[in-house]
Every structure is written in structure tokens, then in C-alpha cells.
Structure 1
Amino acid sequence: MAGQVHGNLSHAMRDNYAEHGVDEYYKKVAATYRNPFYPGIRKVVWAFLTRWWEAEGEGYGAGRALKVLDMAAGSGEATLCLQEWEAAGKRSTSQPSSPTKSPPRLPLQVQSTLPSRPAFIPPNARRGAQGTNGADGAATPRARVFSGGVPALPRGLVLDVVASDPYTSPAYFARTSRVCHPLSFSDLASGRLPPGYDADAAEPAWDMIVCSFALHLLTDPSELFALLDELSRRATWLVIIAPHKKPEIKETWGWSRWDIAAWAPAGDKLYGGAKREDDDETELEIVRDKVKLRLYRSQAI
């Protein structure tokens, strides 16, 4: 494609958007785009999926696939996270842990001749865990509401992921070896679906829609409403991943904010009530490495 470049141009996405414009930037990096926040994306996706499976996973795997749309998929960060989580969960099922064997003990007379060694102190304990500094200057870990573990998934579980992005299909294919359909937000808002999906079907097309580092680019409120209203009839859950709290999704746009910890509608619940740091995790938001994940439930399904 003419005008394409290698890499992401500037590491600062604001600079890229300001210099080239959103559409032109993604055209330039269509085959080479990579999200520099991938480690944080992976952590929040894994923590969310484990919580979701705990609350909603019953019945999946018995002839029922977990259907996901990776919307504005970029180079496949969310798809890779979903696949890695699935693989890790199935390994947990097929490889139960075996009892740990104690190492052989030396005879007492040999033990008494060995020099004593100081107890091992993990490196994190010596330099302090990552987090804010306490009164004594030592780092204190930030509170985490959600586990990062992986559940044991049924071997018969089918993870059915379909991706859409109007620009980065080449980068998505290069990284995942999967097809990414070139559908824009406008296409989806107008009812266009990937091949093989019936726009008039009574059942939702997907269990969840994941949108990573993209929905805030839709800055026109009327366009955002049109997209969200249409998607509320296509999936039960909407997962938004971003480095900030944008965009604001109003309750009248087809989706209700979800309390991930209580697994119930958030209602008027604020972010924990008390004042928190911007990267603190709450019951309504999973935060890792400055990446935030929010969850919404469809009001139409």
C-alpha cells in the first residue's frame, strides 16, 4: 500500500494523531501497527475473563461456543489475549498438578558439616514491591480487587473470535494468521456484519464485544450513540479497554455499566466512594500497568 511505513511512527499516539490524523495514521501503519500497551492489555483481559468465567461460564463447552467480536482489532492484541487465556485454561484441565516430592535429605553427620547459609530474600522484598511509597519511604503494593489466575476450562470449549478493523487487517493477519474483516464503526452502526452473520437473526451474534484502545476515537456523540445502540442488539457484554476513562457511555445508549466484583448492575455506584489514585483498581474497573478495563451489559438482551 502506498504511503505505508514500518512501526508506529511516534510512540506517543497523540503525536501520531495530531500530525497525520486518525484515519491517515492507521492507513500508514496498516501492516506494521503494534500497541505498545500490550502487556497491560494482556493482564486486564486475563483478569476479566477469569472473573467472567466464574460468573457466566456454566454451560459453555457443552456444544456452546464462546463467541467474541474483536472490534477495531488493531494487530490482534485482544485476540491473542483471548487465545492465550483459553490455552492456559485448557492446560490446567489436562495437566493436573502432581504432589510435590521433597528433596532427599542428607545424613545428619553430613548436614552438620555444611556451612550455614542466610535465608533467601526475594528481590522484590529487598527493594520493595511496585507501588506508591509509604511513610517510611518503602514502596507499598497497590490493592488489587481481581485475581490474575486462570480457571480450568473444559476441553470442549470452542472460542470463536471474529475481528473487524477498517485499516489494520494486514497487521492483524501478520500477527495472528487470521482474517480481519475491514468493517468500520460506521459499517457496524449501519447493521453491516462480517460474512456468515445474519443481521436479521433473533439471537445475538456474539456473547461479548471487545474494543481495545479504539472507541474513544469516535468523538461525535451521535455517531457513538448510533454504534452502541446497534451493538446492544448484537452482544450481551461490551468490554472497553483504554488508558483512560473515555469515552463516556450514557445509560440511554443501550448499555449499563457493570459492577465486575459484585457481578451486578453498577447503578449509581461511584469509583469506590473515597478518592483514589487514577491507576487504582476498583470494583468497576480492572487496572494493570495503566491500562483500564470497563464492562457494560446490554439493555436489549
Structure 2
Amino acid sequence: MPRGNRDTSSGNLKNSMRDNYTEHGVDEYYKKVGATYRNPHFPGVKACMYLWLNRWWRMRQPHIDAKKFKVFDLACGAGEVTAAVLEWWRDGRDTFTARQSRGGHDAESDSETVVPARRLRLPPPIPPEMTVPCILAADPYTTQAFHTRTHLYAHPLSFRDIAEGKLPEIASKPVGAPKPNNPPESPSPEGSVRGHSPSKSSISTAASLEANIIEMVVCSFALHLIEKPSELFALLWELSLKARWLVVLAPHKRPEIKDGWGWCKWDVETWSECRLTDSVGELLEDRVHCRVYRSLNV
């Protein structure tokens, strides 16, 4: 299945992704264009991410740890999602600075100066204590294209690698970079299970696990490439143990995520759970569909 049917830009071989997949196969195609791949749907990806992040910020702000905002760009391609997240953060910081220069007046509240449709896309004021998002990125084919665009580092992990429990390190460090000397010891989750210092250990373990939670996994134009339901289940269940939100961007409504896979569908408008088969609360921008899911295990 193609990532998208829109005519593609140079660097992606033929103009049609469907033709590329038919001629080369998915794996071979991305091996050929891994260093030059570009997603032509970036405007829609960016618009969807801005709308989602604005809503997420408004509803989750009191609970956001300003120093631990982790975003996992899964099957990161050329970094379209990462670019959108970082641009949203920078625009939000600029909005905050502009508001401060006006003595705290919020220009967005002036309906005569900002049309409603544009207001939805304007990032909220992001204060200085909200540090730059911590990006994790993985793609077995396009690490070079990701680095070229973002100057960050993606790990060459596949869907199967992630399903087996592997995760990339933060994207600001080169793959294989040495870890800090004498890293702080983290409590073992088994400690409380086995009965060693139950009260203190369990509290420390809970804090450690919470600190390691990924706020959101975003998979753009790739999740539907997993054709076997058993493989999709394995991936999504593993992610549900490590991440709070799953954001799926696609040119259509595939893949189907089922009950018992660790996620509930989330209505972005009402900020509440909805049926997996419902289309309410989804986002659609420039032919890009955005569906959001909330982990049932975090």
C-alpha cells in the first residue's frame, strides 16, 4: 500500500508512489530512495500536527512536565513530523515573547485581527520553562534524509524492532554515541515485586517509569504498510506500554486498530473516548487524515 497517491517531488523515483511500490516493492523502493525521500504531503502533515498540538496543549497543559516532553517520530521519513513539532514549539515561543512585549495582551483574542480558521492553527504562547521537545526518531531506510532535513539523528529501527521492545535514543545525539560516565542508577521494577524495600522502591520505581513515558508517538504515512494484523497488534501493544498518545497520519483511514490492542480512540474535539469505528473528532487537512488514540496501559 502506498504512503500516499499524490504526485511526489524529485528524489522519490517515479511521480506515483503506487507505481514505485508496484515496480520495486516497498522495502526495495525505500532502500533506493532512503537518502532523498520526501513526503509531498508535508503541508497537510504540518497543519494536522499544529491543530493536534494546540488542542493537546490546551487540555493537558497542567499535567505536562516541561522538561520531559518526548515525541517519538515513528517511521520518521525525512523528518516531516519532527519539523512540524519543532516549528510549532518555536512559533509558540515567539507567540509568548510577542505577548510579553505587549504587556500580556493576547492578540489572538481580538476576533477582528485573526480569522477563526487561522486562530485554530496559531500555536499557544509557550513559556520559557517549556524546553524544546525531546525527539526520538526511527526509520530503517531514511536516516540520512532525516538528518539532512532536521540535523538530528534517527535510528535504523524497523516496526519489528520496536515491537520487540527496542527504542531509539534521543535524536540530538549521533547513533552509537557514548553514554555519560557513571549514569544514575534507576530502580529495578522487579525490586518491589520480589519484596525488597517495598514502600520506598515502589515509589521510586513509579516515578522512574513516569519519567520514561513517551508523551506521544506519531506515525506518518507508514502504519498501513504493516499488512499482517498480528504484526500490527504486536507493535501497537508494545507502544501502548510506553506512550500516552498515538497519532496516526495517513491519506486514508487505514489501518484498522481494534479493541484489545492497548488503545482507545480519542475525540479531539470533545476530548473524550469514542468508539474505534467513529469518525468524530478526527482531523482532516489538505487530504491528510489525523486520528488520535489514548493508551489504556499508561
Give the root-mean-square deviation of aligned CA atoms: 2.5
Matched residue, 1:15: 19
Matched residue, 2:215: 207
Matched residue, 2:42: 38
CA distance in 2: counterparts of 1:268 and 1:170, whole angstroms: 36
The 4+ residue runs of structure 1 with deviation greater than 6 A are: 196-201
CA distance in 2: counterparts of 1:98 and 1:284, whole angstroms: 35
CA distance in 2: counterparts of 1:182 and 1:205, whole angstroms: 21
Of 34, 52, 56, which aligns to 1:52?
Answer: 56
SS of the residue 2:270 aligns to: coil
SS of the residue 1:58 aligns to: helix
2:164 is the counterpart of 1:167: no
Asked if the contact 2:264/2:276 (under 8 Å) is kept, the reply is no
Count of residues paired in the alignment: 241
Of 157, 173, 186, which aligns to 2:160?
Answer: 186
Asked if the contact 2:154/2:168 (under 8 Å) is kept, the reply is no
Give the deviation of 1:245 after TM superposition. 0.1
Amino acid in the other structure paired with 2:151: S
CA distance in 1: counterparts of 2:209 and 2:276, whole angstroms: 31
When normalised by structure 1's length, the TM-score is 0.75
Give the deviation of 1:59 after TM superposition. 4.2
Task: Flag structure 1 segments of 5+ consecutive residues without an equivalent.
Answer: 1-5, 100-142, 272-282
Q: 1:232 to 1:268 in 2, by over 3 A?
A: closer
Matched residue, 1:258: 266
CA distance in 2: counterparts of 1:188 and 1:257, whole angstroms: 21
Give the deviation of 1:57 after TM superposition. 1.9
SS of the residue 2:216 aligns to: strand
SS of the residue 2:260 aligns to: helix
CA distance in 1: counterparts of 2:139 and 2:121, whole angstroms: 28
CA distance in 2: counterparts of 1:241 and 1:83, whole angstroms: 17
Q: 1:81 to 1:188 in 2, by over 3 A?
A: same
Matched residue, 2:92: 89
2:130 is the counterpart of 1:157: yes
- Which structure dedicates a bigger proportion of its chain to helix? 2
Matched residue, 1:300: 297
Give the deviation of 1:270 after TM superposition. 3.1
2:286 is the counterpart of 1:289: yes
SS of the residue 1:69 aligns to: strand
Bigger CA drift: 183-192 or 194-203?
Answer: 194-203
Q: Which one has more relative contact order, counting CA pairs under 8 Å at least 6 apart?
A: 1
CA distance in 1: counterparts of 2:25 and 2:278, whole angstroms: 34
CA distance in 2: counterparts of 1:94 and 1:268, whole angstroms: 40
Q: 1:270 to 1:248 in 2, by over 3 A?
A: same
Amino acid in the other structure paired with 2:209: A
Matched residue, 2:80: 77
Give the deviation of 1:202 after TM superposition. 3.2
Matched residue, 1:111: none
SS of the residue 1:251 aligns to: coil
